[in-house]
């Protein structure tokens, strides 16, 4: 795992900061929810909800992108013009 973001966040540098960390948490939450969905789809026990879970997996995949772009954009907000 690339720990550079975490190491930079722990430093005394002004960026990355809370905004980037929060956005990263949002993307991770989407990823964890997707993991649960992916472990559900294809299981005989959950066949009756498979189409609903698949639809939610698509939405979760789309929701991961915006927070990741905010992680990258957050330091830009603090750079001098």
Lookup: tokens for 55: 């639809």
For residue 29, what pLDDT is reported?
A: 97
List phi, psi (to 5°) of 12: -85, 0
DSSP secondary structure letters along the chain: ---HHHHHHHSSSS-S-HHHHHHHHHHHHHHHHHHHHHHHTT-GGGGGGHHHHHHHHHHHHHHHHHHHHHHHHGGGGGS--
pLDDT 10s per residue in the chain (81 long)?
Answer: 889 999 999 999 888 999 999 999 999 999 999 999 999 999 999 999 999 999 999 999 999 999 999 999 998 888 777
For residue 14, what pLDDT is reported?
A: 86
């Amino acid at each position: 795992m690339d720990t550079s973001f975490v190491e930079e966040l722990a430093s005394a540098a002004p960026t990355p900061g809370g905004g980037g960390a929060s956005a990263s948490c949002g993307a991770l939450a989407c990823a964890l929810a997707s993991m649960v969905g992916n472990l559900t789809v294809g299981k005989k026990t959950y066949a009756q909800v498979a189409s609903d879970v698949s639809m939610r997996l698509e939405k979760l995949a789309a929701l991961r992108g915006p927070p990741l772009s905010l992680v990258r954009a957050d330091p830009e907000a603090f750079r001098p013009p």
